[in-house]
């Protein structure tokens, strides 16, 4: 490579480049350690959320509001309350989706879609760096950001996690440069007791069930 030849000819540039590389590795390691430490200490997470998602068909932003409960490892409830109610439950082996407007429940084995869940890095105990490349993206609007890029192809290109005062306050999911789903959390409670029955999906009477639970 031309750059390598140039560096060999100019020793002081080689030294400077080596310092930059070492600093980059140090920042990457710090990012991995900081985010992984937060996740390691997180047992439960409960918060209200606002989700903003672009609607390419009408060039508008759709806003949804709801509540999120997490019990690590492997259990979550993500419930949209308005404008269109929908409840998503991961009970361990299954992912349930209840569309209240349709009176329909869909269930799938979590093993079939685990890699495509945007919060898989938070939901499970596996080290984040095993599935994602972590980059410390620094401060933006008073929040410290970490970028997660999947090492294997998924339906999203990357994820940004925003931390403030030791808490996860925002998650941005990129499906493309102009297709970003932004989630902001408020009323956050970490490591509080959440009853396990909250993560057990109860099939409502009279709804259609698509799929078979494990």
pTM of the entire predicted model: 0.82
Q: What are phi and psi of 34, to 5 degrees?
A: -65, -50
State residue 32's pLDDT score. 55
CA atoms within 13 A on the CB side of 11: 0
Domains for the chain: give ranges and CATH numbers.
2-210 (2.50.20.10)
Instruction: Encode pLDDT of 106-155 as tens digits.
Output: 999 999 988 888 899 999 999 999 999 999 999 998 999 999 999 988 88
User: Cα–Cα distances in Å, from 51 out to 32, 44, 188?
Assistant: 26, 20, 15
Q: How far apart are CA 193 and CA 179, in angstroms?
A: 35
Give the model's confidence band at 178: pLDDT under 50 very low, under 70 low, under 90 confident, else very high: confident
Q: In the chain, what percentage of residues exceed pLDDT 70?
A: 82
| CA 110 to centroid of chain Cα atoms | 16
Instruction: Encode pLDDT of 66-91 as tens digits.
Output: 999 999 999 999 999 999 999 999 99
State residue 90's pLDDT score. 97
2: three-class secondary structure by DSSP? helix
76: three-class secondary structure by DSSP? strand
Which residues on adjacent β-strands are paired with residue 193? Answer: none
pLDDT at 207 over 50: yes
DSSP H/E element including 199:
none
Spell 101-124 as b/e; 16+ CB within 10 A means b: eeeebebbebeeeeeebbbbbbbb
CA atoms within 13 A on the CB side of 114: 18
Least confident span in 43-52, 168-177, 184-193: 168-177
């Amino acid at each position: 490579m031309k750059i390598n030849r140039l560096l060999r000819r100019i020793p002081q540039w080689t030294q400077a480049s080596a310092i930059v590389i070492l600093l980059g590795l140090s920042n990457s390691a710090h990012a991995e350690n900081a985010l992984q430490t937060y996740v390691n200490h997180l047992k439960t997470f409960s918060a209200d959320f606002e989700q903003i998602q672009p609607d390419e068909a009408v060039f508008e932003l759709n806003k949804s509001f709801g509540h999120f409960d997490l019990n690590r490892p492997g259990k979550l409830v993500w419930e949209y309350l308005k404008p269109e109610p929908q409840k998503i439950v991961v009970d361990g082996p299954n992912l349930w989706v209840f569309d209240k407007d349709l009176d329909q429940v869909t269930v799938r084995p979590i093993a079939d879609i685990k890699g495509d869940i945007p919060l898989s890095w938070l939901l499970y105990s596996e080290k984040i760096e095993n599935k994602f490349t972590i980059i410390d993206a620094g401060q933006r609007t008073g929040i410290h950001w970490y970028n997660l890029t999947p090492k294997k192809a998924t339906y999203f290109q990357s994820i940004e996690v925003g931390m403030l005062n030791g808490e996860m306050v925002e998650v941005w999911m990129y499906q493309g440069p102009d297709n970003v789903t932004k989630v902001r959390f408020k009323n956050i409670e970490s490591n509080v007791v959440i009853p396990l029955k909250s993560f057990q999906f109860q099939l409502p009477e009279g709804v259609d069930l698509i799929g078979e639970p494990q």
